[in-house]
C-alpha cells in the first residue's frame, strides 16, 4: 500500500509548484520510512517484500530526492543483510530474493 503512494506521486504532472511537490515528496518519504520500519521488524532480511521496499525506497532517494548516496547506502545494507541470510530460503522465495538483490546491485552500479 505504501508503494502505491510513490507510484501515484510519480504520475503527478511536473506543473506543481514547489510547495505542492514538497508535500508529495514528504508524504512519499514518510510512507517509505513506515514501510521500512514495518518490514525490518516483521520480515527476514532476505524476504522479497522487504527487499522490494528497499528497492523502491532507494529508487525514490535516487530519482525524486536526488540523493544517490542515500540510495546507495540503503541498497548496500539490504544486499549485505539479504546475502547473509540467503541460505535459509527454499525454492521460489530464493529466486525472488535473488532477482530483487540483483536489481539492487544494478542500481548501485548506475
What tens digit of pLDDT does each residue of 3-48 get? 555 555 555 545 566 777 777 888 889 999 999 999 999 998 988 8
pLDDT at 7: 54
The dihedral sign for the CA sequence 100, 63, 108, 53: negative
Q: What is the mean pLDDT of residues 56-69?
A: 90
Taking residue 14's Cβ as centre, other Cβ atoms within 10 Å add up to: 5
Chain centre to alpha carbon of residue 17 = 26
Chain center to CA of 25: 15
Contact between residue 32 and residue 56 where contact means Cβ atoms under 8 Å apart: yes
| In CATH, 2-109 is 3.20.20.70 | no
Amino acid at each position: 500500500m505504501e508503494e502505491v503512494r510513490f507510484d501515484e506521486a510519480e504520475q503527478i504532472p511536473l506543473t506543481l509548484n514547489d510547495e505542492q511537490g514538497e508535500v508529495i515528496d514528504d508524504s512519499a518519504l514518510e510512507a517509505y520510512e513506515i514501510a521500512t520500519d514495518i518490514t525490518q521488524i516483521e520480515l527476514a532480511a532476505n524476504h522479497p517484500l522487504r527487499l522490494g521496499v528497499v528497492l523502491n525506497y532507494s529508487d525514490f532517494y535516487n530519482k525524486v530526492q536526488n540523493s544517490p548516496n542515500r540510495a546507495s547506502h540503503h541498497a548496500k545494507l539490504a544486499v549485505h543483510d539479504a546475502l547473509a541470510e540467503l541460505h535459509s530460503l527454499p525454492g521460489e522465495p530464493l529466486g525472488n530474493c535473488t532477482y530483487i538483490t540483483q536489481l539492487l546491485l544494478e542500481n548501485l552500479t548506475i
